[in-house]
Each structure stands twice: as C-alpha cells, then as structure tokens.
Structure 1
Amino acid sequence: MEIEQTRVAVEFCMTIEDNGQLEETKAEATGVLYKKGQMDVLTYNEHTEDNDIIKNLLTIQPEKVSIKRTGPVQMHQQLRLKQPSENLFHHAHGTIHMETFTDRINYQPLSTTSQGKLAIDYHVRLNGQQIARKHQLTLTLKEEE
C-alpha cells in the first residue's frame, strides 16, 4: 500500500474548562500529513516562547488518536473513543499524571476539495484530582501550495 505525503498548514486550538474558568490556546505551524489506508499521521513542530521546539506526532485512526510530543515537553497520550487512558506529562517544572476519558473523536480527512479537521472532546483529571477538566482540541489542516 502506497503512502501519500502532503505538506500542510496546521491550525491548533485547545480550549480547557477548569472549574468554570476557560483557557484557550491557539497556534499555527507547517507540517507533513502521511496517509496510508485507514491511518493518517501528522507531524509538525511547535515553537515555545523560549524558542524551544516541541515535536508533535499524531496518529489518527477510526475511534483512536495517539499524540506524542517530544522536546522540553514530553508525553504520549492515547485517546480512544469512550475509553479511559492514562499517561504522564513531563515538563520543566515536573511530571503530571493524567487520567483521560475521551467523549468524542471526529475526523474529516484532508481531501482535494476540502480541508481536514480533527476535533476531540475529552475530560482529564490531573494528579488524581476528583474534578475533571473539560478539553476541546481542534486541528485544522490545509494543503500548502
């Protein structure tokens, strides 16, 4: 099976609702989208305020998304529809244990006629907290010319 490779513009938006407070993070990057059968793989680099680079690798399959980040921030998060998962988030100030429950995964693959979009809704409990934070992650992919 052949692997298709496309340069893409990535728009990232993360909204976190924590105890009634909303926090929104937006970023843009250029990446590469690889398509093979029922699996898409997206790679892109994220630049921090300190000019460090965080490498992001997302593996997108029906009902499952894997997010791997390396650099000054490290994690490997598995998001499976309607299933719990756990991972560790490593950063300069320490390590955070994350318990995640994925509510929704909606993926519209990039095509020649429309942009791609990945939307994930999930809840996260940090370091055993009783109250989970609501996360909404949206990635929009546009083919670069």
Structure 2
Amino acid sequence: MESAKGLPVAVLMNTTIRDSGRKDTTEIKAEGLLFQKGASVFLRFQEPDEEAGKTVQTIKIKNEEMSVIRKGAVTMNQRFIQGAETEGMYHSPYGPMEMITKTKEVYYNWNSTSKTGKLRLRYNLRLQGGNAGDYDMRVTIREVSEHS
C-alpha cells in the first residue's frame, strides 16, 4: 500500500441500525484515499452531499481500535475499542450530543493481491443517555486504478 499520497479507493459503506425491533440500513458510496502512517491505517472520503453540507470522514484503524472522525456539517470524533466503553461528542446543525459507545467488534483486513479491503465495526450507541441502537458498519474498499 502506498503511504505518501494514499491509494485511490472506491468506498462502499453499509450501516445497519437495530433499535427496539426496528431495522434501518443506510448506504454510502464514495471515492477516497487509503494510506498508512506508522502502525495506523487511514481511510478518508467525503460523504455524499447532504442537505446540511459537506462532511469529510476519516477512519483510523490501529490494532483492535478504530476512530471515526467527521468534519464539516457534522463533527464527531469517537474512539471504538473492542470490548470497551468510550465517550465522545457528536455535533450537528441541531447542537452537540454526548455519545457513549460499547464496542463489540473492530475488524480490518487489506488483501494486497486483490487490492480490496474490508472493515467492520459493531457497537451499541447511547446518545444523551438514551439507547440509540446497535450499529453494524461494514465497509468494502477497492483500489481504483487511474486507467479505469
């Protein structure tokens, strides 16, 4: 994997939220960059234009820990540590909200032969003290060659 400028990748993110018997799935398709700094891997992409404006998302992976950093219309910096509970803040146009996550699974794999990667994050989320559901985020990453 290139480390200096990053590897151009296609990103497909599916997030399923289960809450009180309801199930909701969202899908994001984007182009981004995958790069490595030391022992950490970073995936950065711009979320598709929302009504609220642009948000850049960076996912940092290191061992059994993942951080999701969002900057723009929505701002968030949340650490996910497998088996642990972590606190963070979520800032939207509607104001700040306290986030508490209990992380069940952090998984990342890059196959340098097929130039594809998989990322999975499963956690329970509480916003402002209330249960917001169980989240299952699955990301597929595929290298985009300059000739395709």
TM-score, length-normalised on structure 2?
0.89
Q: CA deviation at 1:126?
A: 1.3
Quote the residue 1:38 is aligned against: 39
How far apart in 2 are the matches of 1:14 and 1:96? 20
Runs of 4+ in 1 over 4 A off after TM superposition: none
Q: Which runs of 5+ in 2 are unaligned?
A: none
How far 1:47 moved relative to its partner?
Answer: 2.2
Percent same amino acid at aligned positions?
A: 31
Deviation of 1:52 after TM superposition, in Å, equals: 2.0
Structure 2 CA distance for aligned equivalents of residues 56 and 108 of structure 1: 19
| Counterpart for residue 89 of structure 1 | 90
The 5-angstrom pairing of residues 1-145 of structure 1 reads 3=3, 5-50=6-51, 52-129=53-130, 131=131, 133-145=133-145
* Structure 1: unaligned runs, 5 residues or longer: none
Distance in 1, matches of 2:111 and 2:11, equals: 11
Distance 2:109 2:18 in 1: 25
Q: What are the superposed Cα offsets for residues 93-123 of structure 1, whole Å, 9 maximum, x if unpaired?
A: 1222111010011111242325100011100
Paired residues of 1:8 and 1:31 also in contact (CA < 8 A): yes
Q: Helix, strand or coil for the counterpart of 2:30?
A: strand
Q: What is the CA distance between 1:133 and its match in structure 2?
A: 1.2
When the two structures are superposed, what TM-score results if normalisation uses the length of structure 1? 0.91
Provide the rounded CA distance (Å) in 2 between the counterparts of 1:59 and 1:139: 13
Decide whether aligned partners of structure 1 residues 9 and 27 sit closer, same or farther in structure 2, where only a CA change above 3 A counts: same
Corresponding residue pairs, total: 143
CA RMSD in angstroms comes to 1.7
- Give the Cα separation in 1 of the matches to 2:10 and 2:30: 6
Q: Secondary structure at the match of 1:47?
A: coil
